[in-house]
Structure 1
Amino acid sequence: MPPAAQNHDHWTPGKGAARARYRRILRFAGWNLAVTWWFELLLPRIGLARIAERTRSRRMQRFAEKFHVLAVDLGGLMIKVGQFLSSRLDVLPPEITKELEGLQDEVPPVPFDAIRALAEKELGVPLGGAFSSVDEVPVAAASLGQAHRARLAPLLAGDTGLTAAILKVQRPGIDEIVEIDLAALRRVGGWLSHVRLVSDRVDAPALVEEFAATSLEEIDYLHEAASSERFAADFADDDRVSVPAVVWERTTRRVLTLEDVTAIKISDTAALLAAGIDPVEVAPVFAAVMFDQLFANGFFHADPHPGNIFVTPVVAAPGERAWKLTFIDFGMMGEVPANTSAGLRRMLIAAASRDGKGLVDATRDLGVLLPTADTTELERAMTELFARFGGMGFAELQKVDPREFRAFATQFSEVVRTLPFQLPENFLLIIRAISLTSGVCSALDPAFNLWDSVEPYAAQLIRDERGNLVQDVAQQALSAAGLLVRLPRRLDELATRVDDGSLATRSPNLERRVARLERTARRLVSILLFGILLIAGAVVRADDTVFGTVLIVVSVLPLLHALLGGRRDPG
C-alpha cells in the first residue's frame, strides 16, 4: 500500500484540513491540465507532435499512479472518481484503467470506536442494546462507509424473522468531505468549460452536477433503503434475482441495517466450481438481468462490480438452475428517462443487427450527438467496425493483431474528435453499468460474447416494436373504416339536401362534383387499405410465412381498385 494510505485522519477534517484538502485537489487538477495543454496542444502547434506521441503512454501511467495515491490518501469522492475512471475501458487508455482498478477495494477502514459512536448517536441507544453482537472487524470498507456483521437483538429478530444482519455505517465526517470534494470538482468543471477542446463536446459543469446528485444520494441511507425495496419489487416474481431485506427499525440516514445475504462473490470462479456452479452459465444470466434493468425496468444498479453481486446456491429440482444472483449496495442507482430508454432500445437493436447507420441514427435520437453533427464519416467508421469486429467475443478479440486495433482506433478517434456531442441525464451511470457488466461477464467466461446476450434481447425488443407497429396500423385501419362507414351517409345527406333544395348553391355542376368526390374518397380508402395490408403482411411474415404472404397478395386488390377504379370519369 502506498505510504500515503497509512494516514487515517482524513475522515474528520477541521477548517484548516478542509482548506488543505480543497487546495490539494485543485493543485493536482491544475498541474495535470497544464501538462496536458503543453504536450497535446502546444507542442503539436510548433511541430513537435512526435515528442507528445512518444511520451503519451508514460505520462498517462504517471498521472494514474499519482491520482491513485491522491485518492487513497484523501478518500471520499476521490475514490468514486477513480472508480469511474477505472471502468472507462472504452475511452481511456489501459495505462489509466489498469492502475486504478485497485481502488474498488483499497480503502483503509475507520477504527471501530468512531463507528460505534456514530451508530449509537444515530440510533439513540447503545449498540449493545440494539444488537446482540457486532463484529468489530469490518466485512467491507468503502469510500463513504463501512459494513460490519451483526446479530439482531432477540425481540427484533422475532419481529423481523431475521437473525444475521449487516450493519452499514457512514464514515464519520463524510458529509463535510463530500461538500469539500464537490466544491473542488465544481471548480475544475468550471476550468474545463473554458477549454474549447472540452467545452465544444461536453458540458463539464453539468456532468459534475450529475455526479454531485448521485453522490449526495449515496450518503443518504434512507434513500438507499428505498432504492433496495424498489429494486426488489421490480424482480419480485423473478427467480434469477434476490435482494436483502431492510431492517427499518435499525435504519437512519447514516446507519443502514440489512439482512446478511453473504454468499459466493460472482468473480470467485474457484468457489463457484466448488459449489457445482459453472461460471460460464452465470455470465449470460447476469448480462440478461442487467439488460432487463437498463432496457425494460428503467431503474438499474449503477455499481455492479464483483463486490456487489453474490451467486447464492438454492435448492432446485433436477435440471433447473440451482442458484440465483443476489444484489447488494443500492447507493448508486440510475434511472432511465422514457426518451432515453426508447433511444437505448433503438441503439441495442441497431447494434444487434450490425447496422452502423442505424446505430448512429439511434445515437443522434438519444441526444448524444447534437443535431448539427455531420455523421457521414462516423457511419462509415461504424459500418467498418461491424464488418471487421462485429460478433467477436472477448477471446476472439484477444487474437486480433494489436496493430489493427491501433490503426482503427486512430481512424475512429479522428472521426469522433470532430463531432459535437453531449451526455444526456444519467448517461454516465448507464455507461458505467454496461462497462462493469461486460468486465464481470468476461471474467466469468473468457470466451463470453456480449452479442450472444444482446441478440435474444434485441429480438424480443424487435417483436415488441412490431407489436406496437401492428397496433398503430390497426388503429389507423379502424379510423379509416369509421371514415368509410360515415362517408356514404354524409354524401347521401349532402345529395338529399341538394335534391330537396335545402342546400343553396350557385353551381349547376355540384351533383357531378359530389359523385367525383365519392369516387376519390373510395380510391383514397383503397390506397389506405393497400398500405395497411402490405405493412401488416410484411410484419407478420417474419413469424408466420403463410399468413403474411396471404396478406401481401390480398393487398393487390385494393391497389388495383385505387389505380383503375377511378379512371372512368363521366362528364
Structure 2
Amino acid sequence: MPAARRGRTEPATGAGDTRARYRRILRFASWYLAVTWFFELVLPRIGLTVVTTRTRTRRMRRFARGFHVLAADLGGLMIKVGQYMSSRLDVLPPEITRELEGLQDEVAPVPFAQIRALAEAELGVHLEAVFASIDETPVAAASLGQAHRARLAPAAAADSGIDAVVVKVQRPGIDEIIDVDLAALRKVGGWLSRVRLVYDRVDMPALVEEFAATSLEEIDYVHEAVNSERFAADFADNERVRTPAIVWERTTRRVLTLEDVSAIKITDVEALALAGIDPAEVAPVFTEVMFDQLFTHGFFHADPHPGNIFVTPVVDASGGRSFALTFIDFGMMGEVPATTRSGLRSLLLAAASRDGRALVAAIRNVGVLLPSADTNELERAMTALFARFGGMGFAELREVDEREFRQFAVQFGDVVRSLPFQLPENFLLVIRAMSLTSGVASALYPAFNLWDSVEPYASQLLRDERGNIAQDVAKQAVETVGIVARLPQRLDALLTRVDDGSLATTSPGVERRIAKLERASRRVISALVFGALLIAGVLMRPDDVVFGTVLMGASGIPLLHALLAGRDRS
C-alpha cells in the first residue's frame, strides 16, 4: 500500500512515524492524567481542596482545547475519539463535551495519485478500464477516506444499469494508523482502569473495545454496503425513502462504488423552495422516518447529519410534485435489540405524556441504571424539565433566557453524573441520532415542534402495544384451553399408574442429598451454640468466675458435635 504524503493532517505510515504518533498520544494522556491526579487526589489530602475546586473548570477546558488541537493535527481515529467524547454526557463534564462538539471530520485530501494507486491495487485493474471518467477533485475528504465522482464504462453501466457513481476510497495507510491509535487508546484505558474515580463509574477497557469495534466496522466498505442494502430492505415499501444502489463488481473492503444520488441537501431551504418543496413538510417526514428506524426496525442511521441526507424531488404520473429522502453513508449504523426497543418505546411514551416518574422507571427497566440507584433526584429533575420546557417547540425554546437554560443544564448534568450508570454504545448512537434529527428538523423549519411528531407516533405505538397484548392474551387463552382439554386424560393416566404401583414416588439420590443438608444444618447450629456459650463465658467470667468457666467448658460439647456429627456415614 503506498505511503501517504506527510503533512499536518496526513496519516503517517512509516515505522518511525507510527512510533512517534503512539508516543505523542501517550505523552498527551500521561501529562493530563498526572495533572488531574495532582489536583484531584494530592491537593485534597493536604487540605487544599479549595484550589482543586477553583481550578477544575479551567483545567478541563485546557484539556479539551489541547485534545481538539491534537485530534485535528493527527487525524485518524483521534477525530472520532473527540466526537465520541463529546457525546459522553453521562461520564464527562460539559466543559469538555462542549469544546469537542465542533470537532469536524474534515481533513486535507490525499493527492489523487495515491488514491489511484490504492484503488487500482484493490480492484485489480486500471481505473480507465472500469470508469469512463473520474473526477480527481474529491467531493468529500474525511479522516478515514475520501470520495470522488465518476462515470462507469459503457459495458459496466449496461450491466449494472447505473451510469453516474461515487467512488469511496480509504486513505492510504489508514489501517496502520488505526492500529497505532487503538494500541494507544488501550494503553490509556488500562491506566484509567486503575483510577478509582474512573473504574467506579466506567469500564474503560470495555469502552475502548466498543469504540474499536465501531471504528473497524466503519472502515470496512463491504460492511457499509451490506448496511445500505439492509436499510433499503427495511424501507422497500416506503416511497419516501431511497438509498443508492451498490456496484458490487467494483466494491471491496477499501473501495466502495455506489450510485450517485446527489440531490438537494436537506437543510438547503432556498434550493428546496426553488424545487417547489415546502421545508415545513420535510421536517415531520424526516422525523417520522427516523422514529421508524429506531422504534420499529431497530436498525438506524447513527450519523444523519445534513451532508448524509438529500431531498430528491419526485414528479408522479399525474404531474404532482412530491419528494423522497435519500440517505447515504451507512458506515455508522446502530442496532437496537427487540428487548431494548421495547424499553425505548416506553421511554417515548413517557416523554410524550410528560411523565418524569414514568420516564425514570423506563430508564431503569432498560437496564441503564443500577437497581440500587436512588432516582429521587432524577425524578424531580425530569418532572421540573417537563414542567418548564415540555411541549415547547424550537421557536419557543429560543425565547427562553439563555442563563436559565445554562443553569438548568448544569444542575441536570450534576444529577446525571452522580448516578451509578453508564450509557451503552447503542444508547449513545440513539442519542446522537435523535440529537441530529432535532437539529435538522429545526434548520428546516424553525417553528417545528418535535412534540407534534412525538405525540401521534407515541399514540400509534400505544395502539400497537395494546394490539400485541390482546394477541398475547388470546394466544395464552388458546394454550390454556388445550391444557384444560388434555387434563382429564392425563389425570386418568396418572391415577392408573398410582393404582397399579408403577409410579415411582421416591428418589434415593434426592434422599441422600436431603440427609446431607440436614447434617450440615445441624453442624451450623452447633457451631453457633459453641460461639454463643464461649462468648457468654468470656463476658461473665470477670464477675462470676465459676459460672463463666462452666459456660466456657460447656461450649466444647457443641464444638465436638460440629466437628464430628457432620461426617458422611453413607
Query: Are residues 227 and 105 of structure 1, via their aligned partners in 2, closer, same or farther at CA, if it must alter by over 3 Å?
Result: same
Aligned twin of 1:111: 111
Aligned twin of 2:263: 263
Hey, what's the Cα distance between the residues in 2 that align with 1:250 and 1:235?
Answer: 25
Aligned twin of 1:349: 349
Hey, what's the Cα distance between the residues in 1 that align with 2:69 and 2:434?
Answer: 27
- Number of aligned residues: 494
Quote the offset at 1:383 in angstroms: 1.8
Query: Are residues 437 and 405 of structure 1, via their aligned partners in 2, closer, same or farther at CA, if it must alter by over 3 Å?
Result: same
Hey, what's the Cα distance between the residues in 1 that align with 2:274 and 2:167?
Answer: 29
What residue identity is the alignment partner of 1:326?
Answer: T
Task: Give deviations 1:37-94, integer Å, cap 9, x for gaps.
Answer: 4555666677766666665555444433322221121111112122334556788677
Quote the offset at 1:275 in angstroms: 2.0
Alignment of 1:144-155 (within 5 A): 144-155=144-155
In angstroms, what is the RMSD of aligned CA positions? 3.1
Quote the offset at 1:347 in angstroms: 1.2
Check the 8 A contact 1:293/1:299 in 2, yes or no: yes
Query: Are residues 390 and 296 of structure 1, via their aligned partners in 2, closer, same or farther at CA, if it must alter by over 3 Å?
Result: same
Aligned twin of 1:221: 221
Hey, what's the Cα distance between the residues in 1 that align with 2:356 and 2:95?
Answer: 29
**Alignment partner of 1:339: what SS?**
helix
Pair member with larger Rg: 2
The alignment's TM-score, normalised by the length of structure 1, stands at: 0.79
Aligned twin of 1:335: 335
Quote the offset at 1:264 in angstroms: 1.3
Quote the offset at 1:221 in angstroms: 0.9
What residue identity is the alignment partner of 1:259?
Answer: E
Quote the offset at 1:463 in angstroms: 0.8
Alignment of 1:269-284 (within 5 A): 269-284=269-284
Hey, what's the Cα distance between the residues in 1 that align with 2:323 and 2:47?
Answer: 60
Query: Are residues 443 and 368 of structure 1, via their aligned partners in 2, closer, same or farther at CA, if it must alter by over 3 Å?
Result: same
Hey, what's the Cα distance between the residues in 2 that align with 1:449 and 1:45?
Answer: 50
Task: Give deviations 1:87-120, integer Å, cap 9, x for gaps.
Answer: 5678867765565455435311000010000011
Query: Are residues 318 and 157 of structure 1, via their aligned partners in 2, closer, same or farther at CA, if it must alter by over 3 Å?
Result: closer
Aligned twin of 2:505: none
Query: Are residues 416 and 488 of structure 1, via their aligned partners in 2, closer, same or farther at CA, if it must alter by over 3 Å?
Result: same
Check the 8 A contact 1:140/1:148 in 2, yes or no: yes
What residue identity is the alignment partner of 2:334?
Answer: G
Query: Are residues 59 and 283 of structure 1, via their aligned partners in 2, closer, same or farther at CA, if it must alter by over 3 Å?
Result: farther
Query: Are residues 149 and 36 of structure 1, via their aligned partners in 2, closer, same or farther at CA, if it must alter by over 3 Å?
Result: same
Quote the offset at 1:320 in angstroms: 6.3
Hey, what's the Cα distance between the residues in 1 that align with 2:328 and 2:394?
Answer: 27
Quote the offset at 1:140 in angstroms: 0.3
Hey, what's the Cα distance between the residues in 1 that align with 2:43 and 2:401?
Answer: 31
Q: Which moved more, 1:341-350 or 1:426-435?
A: 426-435
What residue identity is the alignment partner of 2:20?
Answer: A
Check the 8 A contact 2:79/2:105 in 1, yes or no: no
Quote the offset at 1:265 in angstroms: 1.3
The alignment's TM-score, normalised by the length of structure 2, stands at: 0.79
Aligned twin of 2:27: 27
Task: Say whether 1:390 aligns with 2:418.
Answer: no
Task: Say whether 1:375 aligns with 2:375.
Answer: yes
Task: Give deviations 1:162-216, integer Å, cap 9, x for gaps.
Answer: 1111011000010000111111111222222223233222222212111111111
Alignment of 1:125-204 (within 5 A): 125-204=125-204
Query: Are residues 263 and 44 of structure 1, via their aligned partners in 2, closer, same or farther at CA, if it must alter by over 3 Å?
Result: farther
Aligned twin of 1:475: 475
Hey, what's the Cα distance between the residues in 2 that align with 1:191 and 1:373?
Answer: 27
Quote the offset at 1:359 in angstroms: 1.2
Task: Say whether 1:311 aligns with 2:314.
Answer: no
Quote the offset at 1:151 in angstroms: 0.7
What residue identity is the alignment partner of 1:203?
Answer: D
Hey, what's the Cα distance between the residues in 1 that align with 2:108 and 2:126?
Answer: 25
Check the 8 A contact 2:8/2:74 in 1, yes or no: no
Structure 1 runs not aligned, ≥5 long: 504-571
Q: Which moved more, 1:196-205 or 1:243-252?
A: 196-205
Identity of aligned residues (%): 74
